[in-house]
Amino acid sequence: MSTLTLHKGITLNHFQLKCLGILLMVFDHVHQFFYIDGIPMWFTWLGRIVAPIFLFLSAEGFHYTRNRFKYLLHLYIGYVGMHIVSRALEIGFPSETVLMNNIFGTLFLTVLYMLFIDYLVQSIRQHQWWKLLGMIGLMAVPIVLSFAILSLLTQEHVPSWSFYLIYILPTPLFIEGGFPFIVLGIMFYLLRKYRLAQLAVLILFSLVIGFSSGTSLLDLDNNFQWLMIFAVIPIWLYNGEKGRSMKYFFYLFYPAHIYFLYVFAYYVQR
């Protein structure tokens, strides 16, 4: 099955799908910062489909980008930059809400593993076994770094500098969504020519999360991450076309709206 939409009728191009994700992301973050002021729970329910949308689009973007290393660099700069600004805001506007939002790290690692996998496949096809072993070693580096940082942070006397490692080294244990989201993004990439298979993986992934929570799927106050299953609808509607180009809009809007909501909530809730 090609990456084009599987049906006729209403479809979404890359730009429209990204705009939908951005809109629902705002709902989610409004709930995050203002739930104590009465913002309803369904705001964050809507936001559950955002991560799968952006992971899906990252697989598409990585495939089509002309410069993969530049793509990675932009995500890395976004990751480090958000950590720096977030810590500065937490000092200037102290609040009980911790600024943990940084999807750039998740997208960076997901795209990085897409790159590793491409080189891995290439080395197998060309029978370059040393290159194959090198790629396997590189794929293990972020995982090893995760546990190394965790070991530092769990010491009786935690070195003060160890916290800064998280700011500059995106690792699976210290990013939004962790290993599961990275795996989901990789599966979107590996199956990008087979839309039905992508949707099946997303459904299975969502149900595993839901059933492993230990509570009923209908207990939406405590078990709502599985609602990401509804991302199958907009992803199904994706038609493979680029649409309008706003290359750097997401890189700017994502941190800007989070910081605006954080500071606004600070003054509202004082």
Closest listed residue to residue 258, CA positions, set 44, 69, 29: 29
pLDDT for res 41: 96
Say if CB 60 and CB 14 are below 8 A apart. Answer: yes
- Cα distance between residue 37 and residue 42, in whole Å: 14
- Cα 170 to Cα 105, 119, 225: the distances in Å are 5, 21, 23
Report residue 266 as tokens.
């600070």
Three-state SS for the chain is CCCCCCCCCCCECHHHHHHHHHHHHHHHHHHHHHHHHCCCCHHHHHHCCHHHHHHHHHHHHHHHCCCHHHHHHHHHHHHHHHHHHHHHHHHHCCCCCCCCCCHHHHHHHHHHHHHHHHHHHHHHHCCCHHHHHHHHHHHHHHHHHHHHHHHHHCCCCCCCCHHHHHHHCCCHHHCCCHHHHHHHHHHHHHCCCCHHHHHHHHHHHHHHHHHCCCCCCCCCCCCCHHHHHHHHHHHHHECCCCCCCCCCHHHHHHHHHHHHHHHHHHHHCC
According to the model, what pLDDT value does residue 266 have? 94
pTM: 0.92
- Delimit the domains of the chain by residue range: 14-260
The Cα–Cα gap between 167 and 165 comes to 5
pLDDT for 2 equals 41
pLDDT by residue, tens only, the chain of 270 residues: 344 555 567 899 999 999 999 999 999 999 999 998 899 999 999 999 999 999 999 999 999 998 999 999 999 999 999 999 999 999 999 988 889 899 999 999 999 999 999 999 999 999 898 989 999 999 999 999 999 999 999 888 888 888 889 999 999 999 999 999 999 999 999 999 999 999 999 999 999 999 999 899 999 999 999 999 999 999 999 999 988 877 789 999 999 999 999 999 999 987
pLDDT of residue 1: 37
pLDDT at 3: 47
Q: CA–CA separation, 178 vs 175, rounded Å?
A: 5
